[in-house]
Amino acid sequence: MEEFNVMLLRIAGKLSDTDLNNMKFLCQDKIPRKKMETIASPTDLFIKLMELTEISKDNLNFLIQLLQHTQRYDLAKEVKGFQGPPVSREETSEAEDPEEDQLGRAFDIICENMGRDWKMLMRALGVNDSTMEQIIYANPYNLKEQIRQCLREWKKKKRENANVSALIKALEKCRMKLVAEKISDELNLSYGMS
């Protein structure tokens, strides 16, 4: 059970307030309104869902669906990885949109490796300052979440033009070649040093 709890804690730490609100909204038919009002964090939500036997170590389908419906495909994949035997990259590419999967992994790498100059990257991607300020205001003490939410805004705005190569070009433009190389290495892409 301990490993299961550690995984849930890790997932909870990567969820924003917006993600939590969206997940609570999706759980309205499972959790009574009075109890819903007491849920203030993702861990509270997970505890309540475990009490209701909606999620357990052996049944994570509901949690995976919640994460997918809130567009946290990166976390849904992480939960799937916990649920069953590790799947090869070829198998996951067939099951999901490979570009979507790569973009999620690229976002993770950027969030882990981006420093104080992250706003320069967002401007290069076309995320405006007012959007950044709103995101900073909503997540005041969580730099990684600020970066992730800005990347999501970029993805939402650019739609099919939001891809890994566009991210790498923007990183290069901002002279953030180490992060660009890290993404290329992680995703097995050829990276041409310019």
pTM attached to this predicted model: 0.49
Fold assignment, 97-186: Death Domain, Fas (1.10.533)
Structural domain boundaries of the chain? 2-86, 97-186
* pLDDT for residue 122: 92
CA distance 180 to 191: 8
* pLDDT for residue 90: 43
Q: Do domains 2-86 and 97-186 have the same CATH topology?
A: yes
* pLDDT for residue 87: 42
Q: Which CATH code, of 2.30.40.10, 1.10.533.10, 1.20.1560.10, 1.10.10.60, is assigned to 2-86? A: 1.10.533.10
Q: Check residue 41 and report its DSSP letter.
A: S
CA distance 146 to 172: 21
Per-10-residue mean pLDDT for the chain, 194 residues long? 82 90 90 88 90 84 89 88 54 50 86 86 91 86 86 86 88 90 81 48
Nearest CA-CA partner of 62 in 76, 42, 43, 78: 76
